[in-house]
Structure 1
Amino acid sequence: MPTLAPVQIVEVSPRDGLQNEAGFVETADKLALVGRLIAMGAVRIEVASFVNPRRVPQMADAEAVVAGLPAAPGVRFIGLCLNERGVDRAIASLDGVRPLDEAGCVLVATDGFGIVNQGQSVADGIIANTAMLKKARAAGLFAQVTISAAFGCPYEGAVPAARIVELAARMADAGAQEIALADTIGVGVPAQVADLTGAVIAAIGDIPVRLHLHDTRGLAPANAWAGYQAGCRTFDSALGGLGGCPFAPGAAGNVGTEELLYLFGHSGIATGLALDQALAANRWFAGIMGRALPSRAGKAGDFTVTENTK
């Protein structure tokens, strides 16, 4: 049997998993979550978003979270940045004991969602992200960009694939070191994900492509598999399937990390993360949140064959 290429999982639960939660999750609990993610093998973790706390109150402690990050050799921490001010805040962490490693920029693929989410059109977003990527790279941060609403927009509906390919090419030319395609509201289907992922990979050459999938309609694991078959090797996920966007009506949680570990692990594809530890972290964090988390694999657990002792 041929060896299948491994994948990398980018854990986004401390940021995207929590940003839509109504009740504030304490800084200490966010840092404890980061510690659990590291223990289960996560090597890239999106820890905070540098946004206006009046718009996203859950991220009001971004600097405190970054300041409290543990020493973790081999682990890369990501701060999400929606504008140049956000990049400046990420750069400021470089003076701390444990600085960030990456600035995650965001380009929305439609005017309708872009204006609601970031107060800018697509054209404005191209200009802004070009400057953001340049500034982040100059400061020594790994500069990556997510194209949001790449598979459908909550305000404008279907988004032409050609537009996403063009935006990816523009961001590659602007210096993006990785480009993520985000199914922000979970409307994509496997054929669409495979086609668009393949087209973007072909358009941007050696720059890695990442998929950020939401599980609104239960298709995120299937979409991840389609993306893998199309050549994607890096996937965002959130422990417990938490998440949602405050500015995207109808958006549900991210694909659960447990789902991806089950999917890829039982398909013979290495992830570097341990499903049993992810399940334990799920149970622990459910206690912090005061409710069961959405992930179906998190609830069902792993599949093991037990001896029939009848």
Structure 2
Amino acid sequence: MKKAIVGIIIFMLMIVCSIFSSADILGNVKTTKNNLIVLEKDSVLQLDKFSNYQTDLDWDYTSNPPHMYTIPLGKVGIGTTNPSAKLDVEVNNGGAATIGSSYNIAIGDYAVALGYAAKAIGNYSIAMGRYTNASGLTATALGWGTSAKGSCSTAMGEGTTASGSFSTAMGRSIKVNGDYSFGIGLSSKSYSIDSDNVLSIMGGKVGIGTADPSYLLDVFSDNDIVAQFSGRVKGVDAIYDDEFVTKGQVKTSLPSYFTPYGTSDPTGIEGDISWDSNYFYLKTSEGWKRAKLETWGSTSVVLENNP
């Protein structure tokens, strides 16, 4: 009789072990006193197709398409037992999160990489987009193929690089190497800004008051005043040292203190006028001509060729 009872017990134990073994959960899953489900180390919780799992915590998982994992109420914390948002991810060091591609890398402390092959290497850095690289401290790289190398630098757009500290590169194919500099690239041509404390807009046109600029700088206003300068303004190709207007832009007479060296002096265009202490000069189709200045009371002014 005792042998029969022992045999029955052994048989039942074999059945129980077989069931747990086939379910692959024996020693892998446990519950805590708070009714939390915890996976043991190196374990896998796998649900069969079309199956559902539900607890009193009001969340469920299904492997049936479209694969839903829902928590209608409450918050989810990763690295924290007191989440402050619906999803709260916290770390003490190392990367905080990678989202998207398996090629993403978040190495820096509190770094985040999102997209495809995004690399957040610097501490507190963010890399977002495609092939972006944020290697500087507190750097941000956005877009496609951008690189933020300097501390507190920002690179956005396509193929931009911000290497200087506190530098910003945006647009396309522009490199900002100077500290505290800001560069905007408006074409596929590569530009490099090496000076510090510089704002440069390269490769396009700038419109102020117009969405369709016709010139490198096109300023439009509904009234006559479009600009005011508190300092001296000088053009690189200016006719005179203190003038902003360039040779190619002169269409009317331009009075100024200037002495042509002779009739054939190429300076200026027809219609330009100037003077010095002795003569009044006029640029004609035949070159510069001059009239001698007399004191008050003179009876005539003679216009003659400028020797």
TM-score over 0.5 for the pair: no
Larger relative contact order (CA 8 Å, sep ≥ 6):
1
- Between structure 1 and structure 2, the one with the greater Rg is 2
Structure with greater helix percent? 1
TM-score for both structures, normalised by structure 2: 0.20
Q: Which has the higher strand share?
A: 2
TM-score normalised to the size of structure 1?
0.20
